[in-house]
Every structure is written in structure tokens, then in C-alpha cells.
Chains A and B, each alone.
Chain A
Amino acid sequence: MADIAANVFADAPAETEVRSQWRLVLRRFLAHRLAVAAGVVLVVAYLFSYLAEPVGGWGYKDLSPDLSQGPSGDHWFGTDTIGHDMFAQSMRGLRVSVHVSLVVAGIATVLGSVLGAVQGWFRGRVDGALGLLVDFLLILPLLPVLMVLGTRTRASGGSSLMFVAVVIGLFLWAPLARVVRGEVLSIREKEYIEAAEALGASNTRIIFRHLIPNAMSSIIVYATLTVATAILLETALAFLGFGIQPPEVSLGSLVDEGRDAARTRWWLFYLPGAVLVLLVLCVNFVGDGLRDALDPRRDQRR
């Protein structure tokens, strides 16, 4: 037996340093320059939104004596008709949009992944019932529905930011559920799922430890898309006058208020609009980078 054991150990490769997974992920992400740049811009912009008042000198609710002025040293983004400092307002709007979109994406991603995985794993009736719900949510014209809900909340005395976010989140999980279901239908046939079953893993364990992690790259890509969608959807709602109510601002409400002035006082429309576009673009780039970095099947040397 001893010589067998010696034999068995003989094929041991030379000791190699085993890299920790998270260092690997970080390194792959850092190799993705655009994503890193976008991430830095996002974080800096978000943190800076808290410094907008002390640095720019104006709060977002402050009314300055300067009405309808173009960008200047005092008002970086100019002012509107009643003297709001547009820089302070844009930064406030950025912060609000980020918060709303993160809550939306969080709710939609968790619901979408879990329900999609449940559909794909159990199939049969469970799949059918949830599938109907998904189809229903997908055919709902989202904007009108949210507008109706928006008016109701306004009637009941102002809508809270989080209420808007939660409602949007409850509507946005359906497309992700579909994607995850499809992924899971293919993953469930893999041998390691059979192996997990053979080792006595329960349904819950298989779903959360094996199926969802293996669908993670799609989920992450979809989650970032959802962040972008949520920002745009909240913007659209605000643009139509629903969702966020003054004096609170979001990028959408700013663009809405500035749109009439797009030709005459361009800064009211284009500057918050630029912040919005930049925000959505950065989110998408970060999503790209995360997808590449988190996939352990990619070459470990990159």
C-alpha cells in the first residue's frame, strides 16, 4: 500500500501559487480600462453630489437672485427662471436617480433570478403559472400603469421616492426571470447538477448554490441593464410629471422642466441631460467589465 501511495502522489505538479478568486476577479476587472474609468466616474460623481453644496456654494432648494443666467463661475450650470442653481439641482438629481435605480435593480434582480430559477428547475405547473405572470407583466404597458399609480399616490398626499422605486422594481423583474429560466433549463441538464442531486442536495440548495451562481454572468449583465432602464424609466415618469414631486428633483424632472428652454437657455436642458447620459453610459460600461471579470471560465491569466 505504501508504494501505491507513493505512486499516487508522484504525479503531483510542482507547487503553484493558488490565486484567490477575488484577487483574480479584481485583476480582470482592472484590466478592463473602460469599465474602470466608468466606475471611477460613477463613484466620484456620486460622492461629489454630496459636496455640491459646500463646493458650488448653492443648495438645491436655494433661490438665488440670479435669474435665468448662463453657466458662470458662480453658477456652473447656470440658473433657471426662479433662480435655482442648476449645478446643485443636477447633483441632487443624480443622487436621487442613483438611489431609485439601485433599489429598482435590487428588487427586480432578486425577484427575477429566484423566480426564473424556480421556473427552470421545477418546470411543469410551477413554470406554467409563473410563466403566465411573467407574460402578463411583459405585455403590460408599463408607463401608463405607473402613471395611474403615480396619480393615486399624488392624490394621497405626495409619493415617497422609495414607493416609486419599489413599484418600478415590482414590474421590471419579468424579463430577467425569462432569461434566468432559459439559462437554468440548460444548466439543470449539466452533470454537476446531477452530481449535486446524487450527493443529497435539496431543491433550495441546488437553486441558490448551483443554478443561480452559474447563471450569474447573465444576471449581472441584466442587473446593470436594469439599473440603466430604471434610471431612464424614472426619468420618463418624472418627465411626464409623475413620480418625484417638487421640491425634490431627479434628472428626469430637470430635463422635463428644461425642455421648453432647449433652444433659448440651452443649459437648462442639455447640462442635466448630459449628466443623465453620462450616468447611464457609465453604468453600462461597469456592467460589461463586471461580466468579464466574474466569469471564472475565462482564461485565468488575463
Chain B
Amino acid sequence: MTGPANPKAEVPVLSVQDLEVVFPSTDGDVQAVRGVSWDIYEGEVLAIAGESGSGKSVSVMAALGLLPPSAQVSGSISYRGQDVTAMADKELEKLRGSAISMVFQDPMTSLNPVMAVGAQIAEGVRVHQRTKTAIARSKAVELLHLVGIPNASQRVDSYPHELSGGMRQRAMIAMAIANDPDLLIADEPTTALDVTIQAQVLDVLERAREAAGSALVVITHDLGVVARTAHRLLVMYAGRIAETGMADNVFERPAHPYTAGLLGAIPRLDATKGTRLMPIDGTPPSMLAPPPGCAFAPRCPRATEICSQETPELRPIGNQLTACHHAEDQYGEAEDV
């Protein structure tokens, strides 16, 4: 793994080791996550990127113990050295919302429609701190103000349907930082929002993170979001890590053909006129029976025989870690560009 952003913090806030998650289904076992390890350190912003079904959400839901009971989880997840997977429900409840908190994808459906937003934020405070209702309420006003909701002292009494999408997402962020969490997890925080609001919400998220002094994991399929916020980037494909490293390095010189493909598929302002966007052909493999070897091989322009036989291990290439047999070639080519 790459080193911590803040070298003083030696124990990671959250450490995921060899995580595997399997969902039994009538058609067989769905292998959602197949051996993933990562750490996040204090004050750091980690982005987990990948397309739908790559296991990015599942790996953090496991950290909060929020997977359905049918899910089979192996490997270890520890919060400041305590094993989360071994915790009893009561302990987990204490952890959730206070030490580890979450911003959900869709602000339209993630707020209780029959509770005023202020009451929902205050609830988060009162679950973890024994405070009077009035104090929790003024804290809610303060938080709404912090996330940039105008007229906060009146907006606390608004119901979710009276707020716009961007405002609701701000309210969700306010809720998430109500107890100054150590770790904030944002699961596709901007996906459900209007493009014009996305940047603002990302700013609010960053400000909220600073205010709460927490580490942040952003789960996204939008590399634009990553470019804006992340210190460190982890690209997942088919339940495994394809590439990870400091975000700037990975953006500069991707060493995995999949990362390169993703970057080639987004429009850039600095591209020369007439450059075409390059889509990645094919579709992700079925997680019921993932192909042997490298899961990306069937779609990979660099694939050779070894790719469909041997699973590539993560190994250092340049300044990052890449799981590809042809990483050197890719990395070398990136240099030429």
C-alpha cells in the first residue's frame, strides 16, 4: 500500500484486509468482493472508483456491518485496531454515526419523508450524545448553516419534500457529520444530483470533512469527482483492486489498461480538438462465475494468453500498485503521451 498522507498517524482509521464478500443466490454464489485490502489514515481522502457491480459499495457497507444477513463476509475490517466484524450489534450501533458515518447516494430517498430535516439531524446527535432536545436542535441549526443551507434556523423545520435535491444532500452531509466522525463514507454522493449542483456538494463535503476533522472515503464511478477531491485513488474491477496509488500519479500515468480506458472515456477540456472519446468495449463479467485469470482480460486491448490463466497480483509500478501482467507496457506508453 502507499504510505499514509499524514505520516504521524501510524494506525489507520479503517483497515480492510483480504475482504471477501459472497452473496448466495438461487443461481449460485455471487462473488461481489474477491480479496480486497486497503487502509485509510487520518485526514485522508480516499476515492474508490469502479463501475456498477465492481464491489465498491459492498466493501464499505461491510465495514459498517450493514450487509444483509445472508452475505458471507471473510477477511478482517478493523476500526483503529478493533475488529468490526467481531462486534456485537450494540457495539456496532455505537460506532455507526459517531465514529464512522455515511452520506448516501440518493438524497431523495435517504431522508425520512415524515420527519423534519432538523429533527433527523438532531436525532443523530441524540442517539450518540445524551443532550436535551433544545441543544440537539440548535446543533442541527448550526450544522445546516455549516453545510450552506440559507435560513437555517427556519429550514430545520422543513420536511424533505420542501427542499431541493442539492439542499437535501447538504442536509444528509450535516446529518453525517453531526457527531464529528473519524471516518466519513460518501457513497456516490453526487450521482443523483444535477451537474450544476455536483461541484457545490463536493465543496460542502470537503468543508464538512475539514470541520469534523475526519477521513473521507468517496465511492464513485465518476472520475471527475475523484480528480477533484481525492488524495489517493483505488480502482476496482470485478471485485478486485485493479490499481491504486496517489490520485495525481494514477491520473498522470495509469499503469492498468482498465484505468487508462476509464480515463480515455471521459471528456477533457485540455484535449486537442477532434480527439475522440474511447469507450471500453464489452461488459463487466458476471460475478456468478468470474473468468479465471485477470477479470478484465476479455475486454483488454493488451490481453495475451497469460491474462486468462494467471490472476495478476498487485505489484509496484512506478509510484503506484497495479494488478496487470502488462503494467510496464501500459506505464511506458503513458510516458510517451
Listed in ascending order, the chain A residues whose CB lies under 8 Å from chain B are 1, 4-5, 7-9, 11-13, 15, 18, 20-21, 190-192, 194-202, 205, 209-210, 213-214, 216, 296-297, 300
Chain A residues with Cβ below 8 Å from B111 are 192, 195
Chain A residues with Cβ below 8 Å from B123 are 196, 199, 201, 205, 209
A205–B93 alpha-carbon span in the complex (Å): 12
Taking a contact as CB atoms under 8 Å apart, the answer to whether B112 and A198 are in contact is: no
Taking a contact as CB atoms under 8 Å apart, the answer to whether A8 and B127 are in contact is: no
Give the size of the chain B interface in residues (CB under 8 angstroms).
46
CB of B172 within 8 Å of the partner chain: yes
Taking a contact as CB atoms under 8 Å apart, the answer to whether B113 and A197 are in contact is: no
Chain A residues with Cβ below 8 Å from B113 are 192, 214, 296-297
Least distance between B117 CB and chain A CB atoms (Å): 11
Taking a contact as CB atoms under 8 Å apart, the answer to whether B95 and A200 are in contact is: yes
Chain A residues with Cβ below 8 Å from B200 are 7-8, 11
A18 and B161 in contact, given A191-B106, A199-B175, A200-B94 (Cβ under 8 angstroms) = no
Q: Which of B92-147 contact A (CB under 8 A)?
A: 93-98, 101-102, 104-106, 109-116, 123-124, 127-128
Which of B23-31, B48-56, B148-156 lines the interface with chain A?
B148-156
A290–B158 alpha-carbon span in the complex (Å): 21
Nearest CB to that of B100 among chain A residues? A198
A11–B176 alpha-carbon span in the complex (Å): 22
CB of B268 within 8 Å of the partner chain: no
CB of B159 within 8 Å of the partner chain: yes
Taking a contact as CB atoms under 8 Å apart, the answer to whether A198 and B96 are in contact is: yes
Q: Which of B194-235 contact A (CB under 8 A)?
A: 197, 200, 203-204, 207
Least distance between A89 CB and chain B CB atoms (Å): 44
Taking a contact as CB atoms under 8 Å apart, the answer to whether A296 and B97 are in contact is: no
A4–B199 alpha-carbon span in the complex (Å): 10
19 new A-B contacts at CB < 8 Å, known A195-B102, A196-B112: A1-B207, A4-B203, A8-B203, A12-B150, A13-B164, A21-B116, A191-B104, A192-B109, A197-B96, A198-B101, A198-B102, A199-B102, A199-B127, A200-B93, A200-B97, A200-B128, A214-B113, A296-B161, A297-B113
Q: Which of B12-55 contact A (CB under 8 A)?
A: none
24 contacts between A and B (CB under 8 A): A8-B203, A9-B150, A18-B151, A191-B105, A191-B106, A192-B110, A192-B113, A195-B102, A195-B111, A198-B96, A198-B97, A198-B101, A199-B101, A199-B124, A200-B93, A200-B94, A200-B95, A200-B124, A200-B128, A201-B93, A209-B112, A210-B115, A213-B115, A296-B159
A200 and B98 in contact, given A9-B148, A11-B197, A12-B150 (Cβ under 8 angstroms) = yes
Chain B residues with Cβ below 8 Å from A297 are 113, 161
**Residue among A11, A196, A300 making CB contact with B161, cutoff 8 Å:** A300
Nearest CB to that of A216 among chain B residues? B114
A116–B64 alpha-carbon span in the complex (Å): 28
A21 and B203 in contact, given A195-B104, A214-B112 (Cβ under 8 angstroms) = no
Chain B residues with Cβ below 8 Å from A209 are 112, 115, 123
Taking a contact as CB atoms under 8 Å apart, the answer to whether A18 and B157 are in contact is: yes
CB of B66 within 8 Å of the partner chain: yes
4 residue pairs, one from A and one from B, having the closest CB atoms: A200-B97, A199-B97, A12-B150, A200-B96
Listed in ascending order, the chain B residues whose CB lies under 8 Å from chain A are 64, 66, 93-98, 101-102, 104-106, 109-116, 123-124, 127-128, 148, 150-151, 154-155, 157-159, 161-162, 164, 166, 172, 175-176, 178, 197, 200, 203-204, 207
Taking a contact as CB atoms under 8 Å apart, the answer to whether B106 and A197 are in contact is: no
Chain B residues with Cβ below 8 Å from A12 are 148, 150-151
Taking a contact as CB atoms under 8 Å apart, the answer to whether A213 and B104 are in contact is: no
Least distance between A160 CB and chain B CB atoms (Å): 38
Least distance between A112 CB and chain B CB atoms (Å): 19
Taking a contact as CB atoms under 8 Å apart, the answer to whether B127 and A18 are in contact is: no
Taking a contact as CB atoms under 8 Å apart, the answer to whether B172 and A195 are in contact is: yes
A200–B91 alpha-carbon span in the complex (Å): 10
Chain A residues with Cβ below 8 Å from B112 are 192, 196, 209-210, 213-214
Chain A residues with Cβ below 8 Å from B114 are 213-214, 216, 296
A102–B227 alpha-carbon span in the complex (Å): 62
Nearest CB to that of B153 among chain A residues? A18
Most buried by B among A7, A192, A199: A199
Chain A residues with Cβ below 8 Å from B148 are 5, 8-9, 12
A190–B158 alpha-carbon span in the complex (Å): 20
Least distance between A126 CB and chain B CB atoms (Å): 14
A194 and B66 in contact, given A15-B150, A18-B154, A20-B157 (Cβ under 8 angstroms) = yes
Nearest CB to that of B172 among chain A residues? A195
Chain B residues with Cβ below 8 Å from A200 are 93-98, 124, 127-128
A95–B236 alpha-carbon span in the complex (Å): 70
Taking a contact as CB atoms under 8 Å apart, the answer to whether A18 and B162 are in contact is: yes
A300–B158 alpha-carbon span in the complex (Å): 12
A183–B197 alpha-carbon span in the complex (Å): 34
A21–B112 alpha-carbon span in the complex (Å): 15
Most buried by B among A191, A192, A216: A192
A138–B154 alpha-carbon span in the complex (Å): 47
Taking a contact as CB atoms under 8 Å apart, the answer to whether B158 and A198 are in contact is: no
Chain B residues with Cβ below 8 Å from A5 are 148, 207
A78–B112 alpha-carbon span in the complex (Å): 56
